[in-house]
């Protein structure tokens, strides 16, 4: 999205979600990734509203706390914006065009795909590869986002002197992290159809991969905030106290049966509904695996319950299984956070494939 710079240099993956800021720094040596530093910092309630920045100062201050808490010395970041805030379109172009010619052609034709004046959007493109049925054409992915959305994210980052080298879409960051998971699958993930659910505080995004390429992406309104608000209501806690209790425990004995279990059942229903919508709007009629990411994937046993409800193997997404951890990273604490770090992981990987 009009990347500020394409120069290769180390950067931190920065995931700005509705409820928290996640930062992740990776290093690479001899084809082995290592987690150097990470942090998860909660956001004040309503600092982000419907995935949009509502309070630049509060979000910027939380980013600064997360960066400092992680201990990173890096000042450059890769950040993502929600796919719901962008427009993506796959088009075909002549394979013989140079990059400069391709850019000119896309800018000339973009008005056919983008429902906003071009001077109001950030526009970028990437060549996906040769068209399957025509060697003289290539498939090109065009992505556009209103400048005001991108500018808010950049303002958040710049508030305390950080710099964005990459502005990506969450969907593509998720795909980037998924490549690490696919490496451990039979056949490297080829010929497999995998549904990845990123379930955060207010939204659930389904991204379906087939042979390691995205074939479907859609967001639904459902998330962990519903559980937090029920804890808040049931036990007369503040929103912050309810969020803390949800993660750390210590709630009354009836919490599991009367609050958590109904939420888990509701989550399974939403997953099934989203999956049926995918089947009805695509040529696919089954998936081979469901992967769960985001804060809700941290709920103990949710993968097993979901697998029993939908009849498809389910697992918690973990792109870090083949990585080593720096000595400063505490393994047990990090393992607890891995489901919510998938987008940050995909962004941090951009250090190595700018």
263 and 303 part of one domain? yes
225 and 300 part of one domain? yes
Cα–Cα distance, 63 to 56 (Å, whole number) = 10
Q: In total, how many domains does the chain have?
A: 2
Q: What is the pLDDT of residues 268-286, one digit of tens each?
A: 999 999 999 999 999 999 9
pLDDT at 182 over 80: yes
Question: Would you say residue 103 lies in a domain?
Answer: no
184, two tokens = 């451990």
Give the pLDDT of residue 4. Answer: 40
Question: Would you say residue 63 lies in a domain?
Answer: yes
Q: Percent of the chain having pLDDT more than 70?
A: 97
For residue 339, the domain's CATH number is 3.30.420.40
Q: What is the pLDDT of residues 94-120, one digit of tens each?
A: 999 998 999 899 888 888 888 888 889
Burial class (CB in 10 A: 0-12, 13-18, 19+), 45: middle
Within its chain, how far is the Cα of 288 from the centroid? Answer: 21
pLDDT confidence of 354, banded at 50, 70, 90?
Answer: low
Residue closest to 319 by CA, chosen among 293, 295, 301, 297: 293
168 and 239 part of one domain? no
340: left (phi over 0), alpha (psi -120 to 50) or beta: alpha
pLDDT at 8 over 70: no
Q: 78 pairs with which residues across the strands?
A: 13, 166
29 and 171 part of one domain? yes
Question: Would you say residue 28 lies in a domain?
Answer: yes
Residue closest to 171 by CA, chosen among 197, 191, 145, 142: 197
163 and 291 part of one domain? no
165 and 304 part of one domain? no
Give the pLDDT of residue 108. Answer: 85
Is residue 238 within 8 A of residue 224, CB to CB? The reply is no
- What mean pLDDT value characterizes the chain? 92
Question: Would you say residue 95 lies in a domain?
Answer: no
Q: What is the pLDDT of residues 225-271, one digit of tens each?
A: 999 999 999 999 998 899 889 988 889 999 999 999 999 999 999 99
Question: Would you say residue 291 lies in a domain?
Answer: yes
Cα–Cα distance, 207 to 220 (Å, whole number) = 11
244 and 167 part of one domain? no
**Overall residue count recorded for the chain in this entry:** 354
Cα–Cα distance, 41 to 54 (Å, whole number) = 17
Within its chain, how far is the Cα of 146 from the centroid? Answer: 19
Is residue 29 within 8 A of residue 124, CB to CB? The reply is no
Q: Where are the alpha helices (DSSP H) in the chain?
A: 56-70, 99-109, 147-158, 170-182, 225-235, 239-248, 255, 261-280, 302-310, 331-337, 342-348
Residue closest to 259 by CA, chosen among 202, 205, 299, 290: 299
Average pLDDT score over residue span 77-94: 90
323, two tokens = 């990585």
Give the pLDDT of residue 262. Answer: 97
Q: Does pTM top 0.85 for this prediction?
A: yes
Give the pLDDT of residue 2. Answer: 44
Average pLDDT score over residue span 218-225: 92
281 and 330 part of one domain? no
139, two tokens = 């498939």
294 and 329 part of one domain? no
Question: Would you say residue 345 lies in a domain?
Answer: yes
Q: What is the pLDDT of residues 310-344, one digit of tens each?
A: 999 999 999 999 999 999 999 999 999 999 999 99
Give the pLDDT of residue 5. Answer: 39
Q: Assign 3-class secondary structure to 242-291.
A: HHHHHHHCCCCCCHHHHHHHHHHHHHHHHHHHHHHHHHHCCCCCCCCEEE
Average pLDDT score over residue span 34-61: 94
Quote the DSSP letter at residue 174.
H
Q: What is the pLDDT of residues 125-166, one digit of tens each?
A: 888 888 888 889 998 888 999 999 999 999 999 999 999 999
Question: Would you say residue 133 lies in a domain?
Answer: no
The answer to which of 5-14, 131-140, 162-171 has the lowest mean pLDDT is: 5-14
How does 305-342 read in b/e, with b if 16+ C-beta sit within 10 Å? Answer: bbbebbebebeebbbbeebeeeeebeeeeeeebbbbbb
Cα–Cα distance, 72 to 162 (Å, whole number) = 12
Cα–Cα distance, 55 to 162 (Å, whole number) = 17
Average pLDDT score over residue span 172-182: 94
175 and 307 part of one domain? no
Give the pLDDT of residue 174. Answer: 94
162 and 56 part of one domain? yes
* Domain around 81: 12-85+149-184+321-351
Question: Would you say residue 105 lies in a domain?
Answer: no
161 and 303 part of one domain? no
Tokens 């891995």, residue located: 338
pLDDT at 7 over 50: no
């Amino acid at each position: 999205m009009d990347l500020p710079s394409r120069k290769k240099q180390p950067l931190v993956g920065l995931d700005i979600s509705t409820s928290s800021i996640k930062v992740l720094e990776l290093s690479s040596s001899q084809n082995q990734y290592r987690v150097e530093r990470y942090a998860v910092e909660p956001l004040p309630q309503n600092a982000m509203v419907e995935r949009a920045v509502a309070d630049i100062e509060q979000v910027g201050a939380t980013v600064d706390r997360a960066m400092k808490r992680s201990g990173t010395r890096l000042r450059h970041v890769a950040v993502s914006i929600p796919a719901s805030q962008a427009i993506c379109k796959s088009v075909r172009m002549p394979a013989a065009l140079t990059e400069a010619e391709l850019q000119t052609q896309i800018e000339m034709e973009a008005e056919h795909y983008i429902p906003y004046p071009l001077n109001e959007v950030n526009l970028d493109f990437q060549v996906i590869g040769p068209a399957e049925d025509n060697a003289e054409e290539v498939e090109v992915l065009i992505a556009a986002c209103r400048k005001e959305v991108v500018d808010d994210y950049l303002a958040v980052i710049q508030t305390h002197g950080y710099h964005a080298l990459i502005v990506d879409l969450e969907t593509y960051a998720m795909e980037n992290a998924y490549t690490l998971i696919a490496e451990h699958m039979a056949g490297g993930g080829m010929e497999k159809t995998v549904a990845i659910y990123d379930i955060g505080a207010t939204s659930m995004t389904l991204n379906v991969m087939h042979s390691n390429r995205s074939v479907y992406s859609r967001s639904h309104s459902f998330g962990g905030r519903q559980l937090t608000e029920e804890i808040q209501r049931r036990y007369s806690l503040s929103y912050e106290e309810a969020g803390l209790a949800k993660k750390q425990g210590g709630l009354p004995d009836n919490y599991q049966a009367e609050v958590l279990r109904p939420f888990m059942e509701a989550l399974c229903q939403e997953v099934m509904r989203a999956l049926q919508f995918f089947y009805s709007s695509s040529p696919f009629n089954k998936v081979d695996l469901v992967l769960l990411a985001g804060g809700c994937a941290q709920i103990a046993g949710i993968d097993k319950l979901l697998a029993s409800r939908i009849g498809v193997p389910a697992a918690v997404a973990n792109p870090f299984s083949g990585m080593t951890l720096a000595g400063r990273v505490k393994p047990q604490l990090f393992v607890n956070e891995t489901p919510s770090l998938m987008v940050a992981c995909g962004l941090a990987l951009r250090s190595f494939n700018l």
